Structure 1
């Protein structure tokens, strides 16, 4: 992964002896710098993004990262998200890499359709099969959000379709070493699905499902190309967005963060027990200077 740039990103394998440990705090500050570049692009092109999930919680409860958090999440409504992907390809600075299934042929974290990675760094997550062929740099996640269809049954049906396609890819990525006879049959089905839905076909399929949505719906949720169908929010709790303090900077967040965080976490201002304060990464490194 040495000296990766937007123009040279076919291989991301790295030699561990050329890397040194990076502290969690330094990794967090790199994530903030990534978001500052994203914020600049969005401001320039009038695109709306918002702090999401644990990052939103960190902004409200800590005015920055949850101390043990090692990732950063933002969301965008589908229209802004699609525009951002096109613009970011050209306007992200050279030290950052826009990671999608189109831009990184080896990328296989299927439930997250877009990450922005910091070149010449490494962040390997726990509980995810390692893949040293894809870009593994320190990152922020960029999630699309979709308006909901007019009918609830349509939402359930389109989510059932999209989830089962994604589930096939995700389960194959995490295939256990030993499979029972029943699981062998199941994984044969998963393999058939992944053969049918190449990257381009999967993309077209999700776009087809997105067309069922009603842009005027008062409700929104994570995009159909993610796996989180259970989270449905009122748009009026998000827009118009407001600026929230985060690590001495200010980034956009929902105007009614309390409603969203309460829905997500319940009593979100109470800290979890110490044994529950864990992070995802098992390796965080940077290229030696």
Structure 2
């Protein structure tokens, strides 16, 4: 996330954390330990500028692919979703993504102005008022952790989870994942 934050900021591409990454920033102050990717949003009009900096990601060892989102991957992946403004809502630009995540949108007053959030050892940009979006996407997000099978490899005790399991939030489940090595300054 640090490299992505630095490269997008360097090139004046506004982004915000979204989905499980937004949930992690608000609830854990970092990546959710049982999540396996990071999610961010950018405006559709910044998509070409994002594509223009792909070589900089590749120089840092990332691979790039595109389906529902741009996947910037090294050991884990960052999904970069494009959004468009329609009336007073910011919605996924990709119809397939919008269909898959119907509750992932922001009203003007929820998204703007962007603000900074603590995310592990760094700060990232996120929505101004995220709770309405989180309530839509993750009902009872402040009381329960819902763990899906593919998002469990960070914690050994969750390795036998099948499908989708709901846990009462405990202090252990509220701890953010920790970096496997010190963060480097590579994106500037």
- Looking at structure 1, the residues matched to 152 and 5 of structure 2 have their Cα atoms a distance apart, in angstroms, of 28
TM-score between both structures, scaled by the size of structure 2: 0.71
Alignment of 1:183-262 (within 5 A): 217-224=87-94, 226-229=96-99, 230-231=102-103, 232-262=105-135
Contact 2:36 2:152 in 1 (8 A): no
- Does the 8 Å CA contact 1:146/1:224 hold for their aligned counterparts? no
| Mapped pair 1:89 → 2:45 | no
Whichever structure has more helix as a proportion of its residues is 1
1:34-59 per-position Cα deviation (integer Å, ceiling 9, x unaligned): x2111112211211111101110011
Q: Describe how 1:264-275 pairs up with structure 2 within 5 A.
A: 264-272=137-145
Aligned positions, number = 150
Match of residue 78 from structure 1: 44
3-state SS of the aligned residue for 2:142?
coil
Give the corresponding residue for 1:12: none
What is the alpha-carbon root mean square deviation over aligned residues? 2.2
Q: Is the 8 Å Cα contact of residues 116 and 139 (structure 1) preserved in structure 2?
A: yes
Q: Tell me the alpha carbon deviations over residues 4-45 of structure 1, each in whole angstroms, 9 at most, x when there is no partner.
A: xxxxxxxxxxxxxxxxxxxxxxxxxxxxxxx21111122112
Which residue in 2 is equivalent to 1:140? 78
Deviation of the 1:260 alpha carbon = 1.4
- Measure the CA separation in 1 of the matches of 2:133 and 2:83: 14
What is residue 54 of structure 1 aligned with on the other side? 20
Gaps of 5+ in 1: 1-34, 101-109, 122-137, 149-216, 285-289
> Secondary structure of 2:37's partner?
coil
Q: CA deviation at 1:233?
A: 2.3
Contact kept in structure 2, 1:113 and 1:226, CA below 8 Å? no
Task: Identify, as 1 or 2, the structure richer in strand.
Answer: 2
Q: TM-score with structure 1 length normalisation?
A: 0.48
Q: Is the 8 A contact 1:70 1:279 kept in 2?
A: no
- Unpaired runs of 5+ in structure 2? 155-188
